[in-house]
Amino acid sequence: MRDGAAVDGPPLIPPRPSDAGPAGDCARYCALVSESCTGSFAQYTDTAQCMAVCGALPAGIAGDREGNTVACRQTYAGNVAKTDPTTYCPAAGPFGGGVCGERCDAFCGLAFAICPRAPWESTPACVTACTNLRFTETGDDSGEGLAGPMFGDTLNCRTRRLLEALAVPEECNEIGKGGACMNDATVPGRDE
């Protein structure tokens, strides 16, 4: 308790001016998220993957704390993510962690930017399909992006496969009907 007010959880540390930087500055954003979110909290495999995702996101306004923008992700990517990586590294990541925009908006926007033939006829159709998908917060099938599973009928699997598609375009086939993300069991001979 401080000044008679209860404090729930760790305090949100406002971003330093050097963290905020210009809105939509992909180089700055990628440097911050790479420095702050490491190990099991890593959001990207490398800078090239981060830059590709960043280039597909709207820039936003410096200091954004919500919305599917680079600026929002950049706000959480610096010292805020270092303070609480469990909560804020996903917010700083490609799919916004439910903080920087809705996961389905981020997923579908990136799906159409990354996959030349996305499995849906339009972004609104993708968002509609996405909102009906299960997203697992905890357990073996949890996580989004790099932390997500490679199989299972979940949004978690699709976010992982979509990031994989940046290096292996055929992964785009796995996020729609009939793909690996429709199967609840591991496909023999494939690594998870």
Q: What digits encode the pLDDT tens for the residues 38-69?
A: 999 999 999 999 999 999 999 999 888 999 99
**Model confidence, pTM:** 0.80
Dist CA 21 CA 1 (whole Å):
33
Quickly count: other Cβ atoms within 10 Å of residue 84's Cβ: 16
Mean pLDDT for the stretch of residues 141-163: 90
Q: pLDDT confidence of 182, banded at 50, 70, 90?
A: confident
Continuous segment of H or E residues that includes residue 154: none
* Model pLDDT, residue 46: 95
